[in-house]
């Protein structure tokens, strides 16, 4: 309600007087002072008019107060109600716009029971319920803010704790390699020092013999000199052999301590690694709606005539990621596109259903060869869509993958490829990975995981590595993928629909020519693949 204010009497104002009004006449649509109100009640023309105090008048919302009882087109009093158009009208309106209308009735008769009708209490209850829903939703959102604040703090603590674990682990590795360095250093130093001591002893011994020989040469007799020389030659020969032995056994070679850091650690510094990823995972809200009266909605809002030939959009049959649905710039622009595989051009060793929506990487009558072909790329077999994404816009389609290991996958073998490509990039065997104007996700055996893993690689950079299932017989996996192609932005995104997360996004997608959906199956003797395409947009 507005703040209290003062109105002047309409009749007095017309006579140049300024008297404060106390009532409002709904029929005359004018304010009346105390004196004029008395005359107004005694007049035959206005004594039946309905009036209300200016205090009560101000309680009416401003937008409703501005509603006039006169026709905005003809400036005549509204006296009739047209049920065909659900609107009040004046006498002149009948000749202008309501000549063929059958449900004309006096406006007073139509309005007579409005305040006493059940619609009043129903609308009051609905507004009360709606207010409670908003209050509950606001409470829910405030709790959501508290929750995401807690999530933020927990996330920070988790990152810090992980960093501490990494630091502790690297400290341990550092201690281990330094301890190893110290051990090697001590071993080499001790060995060399002992060798130095031994050689210093022998060097001193040789020096002593050298002195003795000089003395002997000066003072000994010829016989003594001869005998002494014999002894000295034996000793010199022995020391010479000792030195030759040291050389032959590499004791005199240079020894250096070299520290070599593991290449995996260097790759962390050189490659574009991230500490992790941040995802927004949505779960259904708990806010309950109490309003469910369809009849009330039909009475309040205008009836919109529809064409009964318009069929419901298949968009409702798809499950969209929250990140897509919550982005009106994306969700509102998604184009209708039905993905259908071309059965006629599909490879002869795969199966495509009659409606083009289901792909199997084998044919019932086909006999598989179990011999391993080292050139795995030459055996790709698949099918492409009947139509390409030819117009600018945003397209979304869903693929349900069912995988089952029937024999252990051989090293690095590819079992599935799914993506988009130009026709020129699709060869006779439907292998597109690495080709220009082609974008795909591979499912293949990964040696390090010994599992069937999904990979997306662009420009030698790994965008996705996801382990799907172990490389064991009878292992199964069901994966619901959503593919979003934005030809305006040049992006191709892959979503895990059931986990409601974006797996990866490929940038710089060239959409100058139509891109066709494509799927290829490989090694059906090792892994069975069934793919079902949902209605695309």
- Phi-psi label, residue 503: left if phi above 0, alpha if psi -120 to 50, beta otherwise: alpha
Q: Which of 255, 270, 285 is the last residue of a domain?
A: 270
Confidence at 470, pLDDT banded by 50, 70, 90? very high
| 254 belongs to a structural domain | yes
Whether residues 245 and 351 fall in one domain: no
Give yes or no for a contact between 27 and 49, defined as CB atoms under 8 angstroms apart.
yes
pLDDT of the residue at 365? 42
> How far, in Å, CA of 436 to CA of 422, rounded?
9
pLDDT of the residue at 478? 94
Mean residue pLDDT across the chain? 83
Question: Between 440 and 5, whose confidence is greater?
Answer: 440
> How far, in Å, CA of 45 to CA of 59, rounded?
28
For residues 125-150, average pLDDT: 89
CB atoms within 10 A of CB 148: 12
Whether residues 331 and 474 fall in one domain: yes
pLDDT of the residue at 453? 94
Whether residues 466 and 347 fall in one domain: yes
> How far, in Å, CA of 248 to CA of 237, rounded?
16
Whether residues 438 and 498 fall in one domain: yes
pTM over 0.75? The answer is no
Residue 256, helix vs strand vs coil? coil
Whether residues 420 and 525 fall in one domain: yes
Whether residues 411 and 499 fall in one domain: yes
For residues 295-299, average pLDDT: 41
Whether residues 129 and 98 fall in one domain: no
pLDDT of the residue at 366? 40
Whether residues 384 and 414 fall in one domain: yes
| 309 belongs to a structural domain | no
Chain centre to alpha carbon of residue 58: 52
pLDDT digits (tens, 9 = 90+) for 98-112: 888 887 889 888 887
pLDDT digits (tens, 9 = 90+) for 448-466: 888 999 999 888 889 999 9
CATH number at 412 reads: 2.60.120.920
Q: Which of 111, 139, 167 is the last residue of a domain?
A: 111
Domain residues for 243? 121-270
Indicate whether 420 pLDDT > 50. Answer: yes
Q: Which of 270, 290, 324 is the last residue of a domain?
A: 270
DSSP H or E segment with residue 232: helix 222-248
Indicate whether 485 pLDDT > 60. Answer: yes
DSSP code per residue over 443-477: EEEETTTTEEEEEEEETTEEEEEEEEEESSTT-EE
Residue 154, helix vs strand vs coil? helix
| 22 belongs to a structural domain | yes
| 201 belongs to a structural domain | yes
Indicate whether 305 pLDDT > 80. Answer: no
| 248 belongs to a structural domain | yes
| 62 belongs to a structural domain | yes
| 290 belongs to a structural domain | no
DSSP H or E segment with residue 358: strand 358-360
- What are the CA-CA distances from residue 224 to residues 216, 227, 229, 377, 453 (Å)? 8, 5, 9, 91, 90
Length of the chain measured in residues: 537
Whether residues 472 and 330 fall in one domain: yes
In 361-450, where do the E strands start and end?
381-384, 394-405, 414-421, 438-446
pLDDT digits (tens, 9 = 90+) for 502-523: 999 999 999 999 999 999 888 8
Whether residues 151 and 30 fall in one domain: no
Whether residues 517 and 401 fall in one domain: yes
Indicate whether 239 pLDDT > 70. Answer: yes
Whether residues 390 and 416 fall in one domain: yes
pLDDT of the residue at 535? 64
| 38 belongs to a structural domain | yes
What are the strands of the beta sheet with 104-106, ordered from one edge? 87-89, 80-82, 104-106
pLDDT digits (tens, 9 = 90+) for 255-289: 889 998 887 777 777 666 677 777 776 666 666 55
Q: Which of 141-145, 361-365, 411-415 has the highest mean pLDDT?
A: 141-145
| Number of domains into which the chain is organized | 3
pLDDT of the residue at 301? 33
Give yes or no for a contact between 285 and 136, defined as CB atoms under 8 angstroms apart.
no
pLDDT of the residue at 121? 75
């Amino acid at each position: 309600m507005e703040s209290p204010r003062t109105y002047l009497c309409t009749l007095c104002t017309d006579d140049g007087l300024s008297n404060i009004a106390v009532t409002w006449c709904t029929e005359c649509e004018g304010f009346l002072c105390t004196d004029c109100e008395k005359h107004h009640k005694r007049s035959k023309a206005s004594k039946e008019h309905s009036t209300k105090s200016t205090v009560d008048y101000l309680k009416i919302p401003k937008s409703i107060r501005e509603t006039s009882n006169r026709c905005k087109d003809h400036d005549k009093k509204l006296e009739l109600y047209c049920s065909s158009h659900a609107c009040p009208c004046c006498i002149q309106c009948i000749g202008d716009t309501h000549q063929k209308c059958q449900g004309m009735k006096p406006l007073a008769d139509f309005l007579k029971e409005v305040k006493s009708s059940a619609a009043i209490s129903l609308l009051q209850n609905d507004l009360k319920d709606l207010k409670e829903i908003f209050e509950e939703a606001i409470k829910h959102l405030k709790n959501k803010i508290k929750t995401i604040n807690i999530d933020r703090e927990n996330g920070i603590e988790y990152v810090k704790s992980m960093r501490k674990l990494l630091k502790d682990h690297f400290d341990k590795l550092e201690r281990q390699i330094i301890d190893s360095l110290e051990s090697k250093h001590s071993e080499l130093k001790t060995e060399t020092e002992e060798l130095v001591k031994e050689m210093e002893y022998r060097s001193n011994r040789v020096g002593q013999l050298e002195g003795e020989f000089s003395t002997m040469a000066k003072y000994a007799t010829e016989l003594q000199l001869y005998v002494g020389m014999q002894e000295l030659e034996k000793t010199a020969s022995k020391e010479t052999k000792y030195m030759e032995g040291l050389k032959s056994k590499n004791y005199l070679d240079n020894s250096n301590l070299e520290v070599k850091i593991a290449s995996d650690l260097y790759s962390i510094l050189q490659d574009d690694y991230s500490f992790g990823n941040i995802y927004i995972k949505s779960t259904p809200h708990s806010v309950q709606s109490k309003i469910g009266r369809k009849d009330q909605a039909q009475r309040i809002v205008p009836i919109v005539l529809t064409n009964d030939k318009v069929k419901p959009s298949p968009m409702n049959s798809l499950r969209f990621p929250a990140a897509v649905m919550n982005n009106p710039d994306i969700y509102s622009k998604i184009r209708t596109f039905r993905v259908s595989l071309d059965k006629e051009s599909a490879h002869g060793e795969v199966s495509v259903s009659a409606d083009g929506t289901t792909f199997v990487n084998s044919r019932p009558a086909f006999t598989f060869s179990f011999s391993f072909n080292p050139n795995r790329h030459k055996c790709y077999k698949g099918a492409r869509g009947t139509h390409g994404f030819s117009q600018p816009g945003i397209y979304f389609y869903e693929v349900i993958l069912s995988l089952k290991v029937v024999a252990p996958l051989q090293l690095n073998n590819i079992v599935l490829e799914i993506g988009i490509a130009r026709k020129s990039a699709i060869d006779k065997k439907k292998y597109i990975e690495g080709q220009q104007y082609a974008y795909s996700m591979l499912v293949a055996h990964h040696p390090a995981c010994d599992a069937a893993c999904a990979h997306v690689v662009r420009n030698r950079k790994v965008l996705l590595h996801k382990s799907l299932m172990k490389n064991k017989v009878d292992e199964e996996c069901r994966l619901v993928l959503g593919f979003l192609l934005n030809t305006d932005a040049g992006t191709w995104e892959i979503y895990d629909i059931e986990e409601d997360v974006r797996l990866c996004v490929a940038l710089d997608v060239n959409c100058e020519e139509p891109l066709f959906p494509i799927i290829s199956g490989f090694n059906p003797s090792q892994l069975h693949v069934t793919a079902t395409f949902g209605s695309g947009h």
